[in-house]
Structure 1
Amino acid sequence: MISTKKRIVITSVLLIFFGAAVAFIYYYFFYNEDLNKPLPMTITVDAEDSREPEDIAYRFWFDYMKQYTGEDVSPWKRLTDVRYNKFQLLAGDEAEFAVEVTFWAKLDKGNWSTHHNWGEVQNDGTVKNIQWTFRIKKTSQNKYTLLRIDDISNSVGDLPPVENTYQKEAGIDVPDENNRYRIEKNTLEVTYDNGENWKGVPVEINKLFEGEYNGPKHELMEESYIIKPERTAFIVGGLQHIEVLQSTDQGETWNTSSVPTPFQAIRMRLLDFVSKSNGFLILTGDRTMSWEGNMIFKTIDSGSTWRQVGSVPTERKVTSGGFIDEKLGYVSFGSISRNSQPEVPDLYRTDDAGETWTQVDVPIPAEYKGVFTVAEIPTFDGSQGILLVNQGPNGDFQGGNVLAKFISVDNGKTWSFANLIDPDDVIER
């Protein structure tokens, strides 16, 4: 027989365990809920239905919110009322677009403290000014698919702490420990197994820093090299012509290819491959004060030969550049001011592999003009793009590391402000 005292102890332990389990489930599934878990969603429209982006977005929003409003919904998730304020087209066309929805929701009684981290709960259980961005694509003549939802409430976005892609988007370095280099005793070495083994690279160290480079000589210039198991490459030289030193067998053998340039001295050298065969090289040089030339080169034979394809039509200093695929590329020239107006990003785009370039309009909101000034190179998932704009070298808004995030659904032709990225968690909600 179990004594009454023991039964009380066992019951108490079970209650504590059950309570902890309930708290964990609540936190994991509701406070930290992934808005995109039910996606993708697809709807079919009839011939008489409206095809306006805002109306399509409404259809998705109405269907999506059913998971919170039905009588059979768990009390932990239930909303007793939810109504929209507006739907606003942000970017895109009838084939693919982004729409912002602003709405409010009333939480089920007894669950007012935290719910989905959507915002501040009023005394009556109402959460106001919830803002989401819907990314929608027309997938057939009568069908549309909701691809992604971004929560932009309060115009502040958090970063998942372990997601490297998001960390990279926020400007946080995420080093690849397995594949890296070191310079020791005037020798360049690479590793592919986190330093277990090192292989020497057949190059003179001083050749890696030639030209108009005035930085430290113990670290290679950013984006002037690639270290991956399938391809390792370094830009060598910097006076009148350069070479691409490359290995495709993890440093067992090396070969070089020559890239003649019109510059007497090269400053920036940005190297990247977008496929096994196709790669790009962006060079700048012949700097005079804040002006310099730039030139774009392309290879279609894995770097054996390089062809000059064009240049960006400006002589301002390049801050960053890169290609997304075999056609689409961007070059950033920092910030620019016109007619005594606040500085804005100076970003150019090509969709023909660098032959022609057009300036990109980055619509900085009025309250942030002069704050976010330097565009970084965007990232893409299909035609959906994310562009981050930083504060430049002298930025001091909220400590200087907060970035503005923009989205595109048309391969980066147009961009719309989404929210702020707060990697250091300094902005008060």
Structure 2
Amino acid sequence: MAAKKKWTLLFAIGACIIVLIIGVSLLLKFYKVDFNKKLPMTVTLESDDAKPEDVAYKFWMELITPYEESNVPPWAGLNDVRFNKFQLLAGDKKDFAIEATFWVKPKNEMWSIFHNWGTKQKDGTIQDIHWTMRIKNVGKNKFRLTKIEETSNTVAGQAPVKEHYQKEAGIKVDDENNGYTIENGKLKVTYDNRKHWHKVPIKIDELFEGEYNGEQDTLIPGSFVITPTKTAFVIVEKERQIETGQPEPEKIKIVYSVDRGDTWKEGSVPMTFPSVRIRMIGFTSKQNGYLIVTSDRTMNFESHVVFKTNDGGKSWKAVGSVPDVNSLVTDGGFTNDKLGFISFGSKNEMDKQPSPYLFRTSDGGRHWDEVEVPIPSEYQGIFTVAQVPVFDGSQGTLLVNQGPSGDFQGGKVLAKFISIDKGMTWNFANLVDPDQVLSK
């Protein structure tokens, strides 16, 4: 009887948990207002010369006004809504992105619970709500709203970390389940949050060979990829050389697995290097990947080469480099097999403030063009080093940091830019405030 009561109790507890989960799911479904579910939305304006800001205001009114009506349930209703501004972020009348800044006063506390919006005030209003609205012209005076990005989670309008932008853009990034450890001179990887470990057949010294003086208990940033479908590590080997008095050349190999570490393969890079500094690897699909290598550094100059693979990492081919640029590389990567970016830190010219030195390729690395990052006049000389942008289709987000010596607002505030033409042109959007120093 005791055993039967025990199983009955466990069954009851399990049933309660299931009911609770279902209840929470239903609350989220019925209480949270998801404006993107109403999209795409199309409007027609009477004016032939409507500005992008006017179009965005029309959409905003179409979306928000229904929640001020008396027949809306209190949990979804708004007593008052006011806009602050509509600002063009990028594009033109054919295809553009607008930031809408506004505030609301909900009829019920439920709105605040289910919407992580802005800053709640004592009078019940929620201030500093930001939307980025993606709009296209689809006919004469006819426009279509295709996406709304709610960006009111921090003072600056965006969460601080780069991974956030990747996830929002639908780009897969490593999560807490995937990781590594270096213990007793051995490298191991895990895919289930440290429950099981797989040994990697690599000599630890080869992970840090070249121009690297850091501790050997943490892998060099950018030199590895760990996901269930593709795991890869860049290693550097010194080639044996007859006594000539010359430094030994270094050869790069890629050790990779496609079955969660059960078996490992090796790919070779068909070049040798005087002294490897940066080694950045990434995969844009199961077969396509990139490797950016810098070497032979002298003061603030070095050489760099971009390699590509189209067979999952087995073979690599040098596709080129940015011509006539020997500055130190600070970041680099590809969004897909064709579109890539390399950042060379700050560009320093006589009688000019330092500015981001960013290059773009649209043909897989064969040809590169410098990208202008238009820093607003009030921030020139402050935001100087571009990071690799991330993309959602043709729309991209670019963060520009202050470089190693930056001290504006503690040095951690970033400038955010957006593009709607696959990174050919960029427009300033706002500041990204990771530690919320702007609100202090």
TM exceeding 0.5: yes
Quote the residue 1:379 is aligned against: 390
Q: Is the contact made by 2:382 and 2:402 (CA closer than 8 Å) also made in structure 1?
A: yes
Residues 62-211 of structure 1 mapped to structure 2, 5 A cutoff: 62-73=61-72, 77-78=77-78, 82=82, 87-101=86-100, 132-138=131-137, 144-151=144-151, 156-157=156-157, 159=159, 165-166=164-165, 176-211=175-210
Does residue 304 of structure 1 match 2:314? Answer: yes
SS at structure 2 position matched to 1:233:
strand
Distance in 1 between the 2:273 and 2:310 partners?
23
Q: What are the Cα deviations for residues 57-94 of structure 1, in whole angstroms up to 9, with x where unaligned? A: 23313312323544545678445575x78655331245
Quote the residue 2:256 is aligned against: 246
One of 329, 337, 356 as aligned partner of 1:326: 337
Q: Per-residue deviation at 1:268?
A: 0.4
User: How does the TM-score come out when normalised to structure 1?
Assistant: 0.77
Q: Is the contact made by 2:117 and 2:126 (CA closer than 8 Å) also made in structure 1?
A: no
Residues 232-271 of structure 1 mapped to structure 2, 5 A cutoff: 232-237=231-236, 239-261=249-271, 263-271=273-281
Q: Is the contact made by 1:348 and 1:358 (CA closer than 8 Å) also made in structure 2?
A: yes
Unaligned runs of 5+ in 1: 1-27
Distance in 2 between the 1:232 and 1:154 partners?
34
Q: What are the Cα deviations for residues 362-401 of structure 1, in whole angstroms up to 9, with x where unaligned? A: 1222222222221111111111211111222122222222
User: How does the TM-score come out when normalised to structure 2?
Assistant: 0.76
Quote the residue 1:276 is aligned against: 286
Q: Per-residue deviation at 1:324?
A: 0.5
SS at structure 1 position matched to 2:409:
helix
Distance in 2 between the 1:160 and 1:44 partners?
34
Distance in 1 between the 2:316 and 2:39 partners?
42
Q: Per-residue deviation at 1:282?
A: 0.6
Cα RMSD of the aligned pairs, angstroms, is 3.8
Residues 209-248 of structure 1 mapped to structure 2, 5 A cutoff: 209-237=208-236, 239-248=249-258
Q: Per-residue deviation at 1:259?
A: 0.4
Q: What are the Cα deviations for residues 135-175 of structure 1, in whole angstroms up to 9, with x where unaligned? A: 213467855124124557997225399x9625989xxxx97
Q: Is the contact made by 1:208 and 1:235 (CA closer than 8 Å) also made in structure 2?
A: yes
Residues 31-42 of structure 1 mapped to structure 2, 5 A cutoff: 36-37=35-36, 39-42=38-41
Q: Is the contact made by 1:243 and 1:258 (CA closer than 8 Å) also made in structure 2?
A: yes
Distance in 1 between the 2:384 and 2:281 partners?
24
Does residue 417 of structure 1 match 2:422? Answer: no
Quote the residue 1:427 is aligned against: 438
Distance in 1 between the 2:58 and 2:419 partners?
22
Quote the residue 2:10 is aligned against: none
CA distance 1:107–1:317, shift in 2 (3 Å): same
The amino acid of 2:176's aligned partner reads E
Unaligned runs of 5+ in 2: 1-27, 238-248
CA distance 1:363–1:267, shift in 2 (3 Å): same
Distance in 2 between the 1:253 and 1:108 partners?
57
Q: Per-residue deviation at 1:277?
A: 0.7
SS at structure 2 position matched to 1:137:
strand
Quote the residue 1:12 is aligned against: none
Residues 7-22 of structure 1 mapped to structure 2, 5 A cutoff: none
Distance in 2 between the 1:190 and 1:109 partners?
51
Distance in 2 between the 1:273 and 1:153 partners?
30
Q: Per-residue deviation at 1:212?
A: 1.9
SS at structure 2 position matched to 1:156:
coil
Aligned length: 391
